[in-house]
Structure 1
Amino acid sequence: MLEKLELDDDAAEPESDIYMRFMKSHKCYDIVPTSSKLVVFDTALQVKKAFFALVANGVRAAPLWDTEKQSFVGMLTITDFIIILHRYYKSPMVQIYELEEHKLETWREVYLQATFKPLVNISPDASLFDAVYTLIKNKIHRLPVIDPVTGNALYILTHKRILKFLQLFMCEMPKPAFMKQTLGELGIGTYHDIAFIHPDTPIIKALNIFVERRVSALPVVDDSGKITNSNSSTDTNLAAEKAYNNLDITVTQALKHRSQYFEGVVKCHKMETMETIVDRIVKAEVRLTLMYIQYIH
């Protein structure tokens, strides 16, 4: 949602740039919790062990530390796991060697080949505006906060975390006009060529769609076109972690591994206001919602 907000200094209305000014007046350090879990992996660690550790610690990403270079060189996310399964899975009878035997450094060499780029990160003293800009510019969902003096990784910033921090202070600020506009009026959301799956879709096919369509969630739609569930990249990772050697199982079977605390799909309507949707996203602690109009055809 944050990437859809206008970040133009020449705003027409005085209050329309209030959130931008708020972001510029707060540092990344302000958003770092006093106590939080941060998992760091050495690039010499096996790929399989790294992903199991992500699941065991309940985190979705971890900075990668290169002992030889004595610096952070990248990030490992659930998307990487999906790409590995998408690229190398053949059948339940064939072991995924690249997952079982490769080290993280080997996978990075194979996947990135000659396109190694410096890790995108941000200083704790940088403004939240800079953090939002960096997330958008680099088209990433997670931004590690690294102290330039000590080299220590402090936290991983996300759109969701920044939005939650902003929402804490919204009641104290003038409300921009766009917050009272509907999603339809603002033109926010995906309305055409929506990627989706069915309850009986094999999990490997869902993985393929995640990679080919570059989406982070897929609505699960029944034969009548009604949304019955949703499958996110996180769900796929957890399901695959429990039985990644058999990705021919259906999405319905995979989603049985979901947390008992899962409360259902978070939905919205194009006639609801931005203010309503922001509140819903923050309270539900999700990164996106499914827009329910009537049916998906």
Structure 2
Amino acid sequence: LTHAKSTSVLCPPCPYPSSPHSSAPSQRLPVSPKLESCSAVCCPCGVGNRGICGEHLLLQHPPAPLRQEGAETWQLSSLARAGDRWRSTRPVTFTLGNEMLGMGPGPENEFQTPDAEVYMHFMRSHCCYDAVPTSCKLVVFDVSLEIKKAFVALVANGVRAAPLWDSKTQSFVGMLTITDFINILHRYYRSPLVQIYEVEEHKIETWREVYLQGSFKPLVYISPSNSLFDAVYSLIKHKIHRLPVIEPISGNVLHILTHKRILKFLHIFGSTIPKPRFLKKTVQELCVGTFRDVAVVPETAPVYTALEIFVDRRVSALPVINDAGQVVGLYSRFDVIHLAAQKTYNNLDISVREALRQRTICLEGVLTCYPHETMEDVIDRMAKEQVHRLVLVDENQYPRGIISLSDILQALVLTPAGIDALNS
């Protein structure tokens, strides 16, 4: 969409003195001819200024410096691609004082030291579009599609969730995820009134009406111009694993952001910035993860028992233990979706061990870590193996906790900002 002639909009004053439009009153700045209206973020530094300044001013300012004097400067290379409207086009500068360089005593809380804020500022300085891959697969379902066909399509395309489009309202109304499939199986598998094969013929909109019972919640999504810090907060705050990135002008879904994608982005491009000291601390010292009342499932238990735990405990994976209580596997929500591909969801009384044995593809499996390992080792392993969590075990392989991507991103990004979205 283009304009026949150039237009202007009012951009709020920017708090940065170096800004080309920091003087008061606000200046009228031209809108990019590619934009139908002004909706981008001029200043992604987390201090407001959410007027639209046009494409050439997008991501104009670096994050607020942590120290003004006696500092060492680190620079992140541009991630721009030709023709990308939302992508960062200028270097991001981090300013580190003496305390951040390890030259002075820090506070007792490792995540509240000045150098711990580097990932927080990194995420605030990059928009969601920066993390969108050049090419990716996106599956969208209409709510009039049959449930069975929808879940088979998820498996066939190798995706774990799909945005739901309502043709009547001409809008995206929600997400269809593996959690929905688990809830359907859990609700109807042993129902004396409704057979599971009857549910197969239901449409997605029918299931939403039955399950949500009129309490429809608005779709949680984010704009490509919002910061990755906002994306991390939304994912953890709303306890979701999929965050649609919707272009505000066209209303199209560009990508589905996940914890894994954000950590991968941070792991690749975050190597250009200084590492905070807490990365050298052990998992035991930092207490990042879940260590109490960890949900597990015996390998001899039926799959239906695992579904009950998924629903009741709202966890995404279960360490599988043998008779001695040692970890021998991991049964995740994604394993459940393959019941649809194999058409074996009519028999949920098979053991978890047998279900893992019948997996048609190699999934992430069980990866472990130990209390004496450093946070840096844990992050590197999760990023390299592309897994959503690590099972914390002792030297005898007994489960002692779970470290998830939510735990990692909370510690790296939100805790230094004084935000506890994980437990709110």
Q: Residue 145 of structure 1: CA displacement?
A: 0.3
Q: Residue 43 of structure 1: CA displacement?
A: 0.2
**Runs of 5+ consecutive residues of structure 2 not aligned to the other structure:** 1-63, 67-110, 401-424
Rg larger for: 2
More divergent stretch after superposition (9-18 vs 41-50):
9-18
Runs of 4+ aligned structure 1 residues displaced above 6 Å come to: none
Match in the other structure for 2:280: 180
Q: Residue 259 of structure 1: CA displacement?
A: 4.4
1:40 is matched with which residue: 130, 140, 160?
140
2:255 is matched with which residue: 146, 151, 155?
155
Alignment of 1:235-274 (within 5 A): 235-242=335-342, 243-262=344-363, 264-274=365-375
Alignment of 1:80-159 (within 5 A): 80-90=180-190, 95-97=195-197, 99-159=199-259
> What amino acid is aligned across from residue 147 of structure 1 in structure 2?
E
Asked whether 1:232 is paired with 2:332, we answer yes
> What amino acid is aligned across from residue 148 of structure 1 in structure 2?
P
Q: Residue 98 of structure 1: CA displacement?
A: 5.1
Please, what is the CA RMSD of the aligned residues?
Answer: 2.1
In 2, Cα distance between the equivalents of 1:29 and 1:100? 37
> What amino acid is aligned across from residue 185 of structure 2 in structure 1?
L
> TM-score, normalised to structure 1's length?
0.92
SS state of the match for residue 238, structure 1? helix
Q: What is the aligned residue count?
A: 289
In 2, Cα distance between the equivalents of 1:288 and 1:246? 28
Match in the other structure for 1:206: 306
> What amino acid is aligned across from residue 255 of structure 1 in structure 2?
L
Structure 1 pair 241–211 and aligned structure 2 pair: CA distance change class (3 A): farther
Match in the other structure for 1:276: 377
Q: Residue 251 of structure 1: CA displacement?
A: 1.0
Instruction: State percent identity of aligned pairs.
Output: 60
Structure 1 pair 179–272 and aligned structure 2 pair: CA distance change class (3 A): same
> What amino acid is aligned across from residue 258 of structure 1 in structure 2?
R
Match in the other structure for 1:5: none
In 1, Cα distance between the equivalents of 2:335 and 2:149? 18
SS state of the match for residue 300, structure 2? coil
SS state of the match for residue 36, structure 1? coil
1:13-59 CA deviation, whole Å, 9 max, x = no partner? 33211101111111111111111000000000011111111011110
More helix by percentage: 1
Alignment of 1:49-88 (within 5 A): 49-88=149-188
CA contact (8 A) 2:391 2:399 kept: no
In 1, Cα distance between the equivalents of 2:279 and 2:291? 20
1:17 is matched with which residue: 110, 117, 127?
117
SS state of the match for residue 298, structure 2? coil
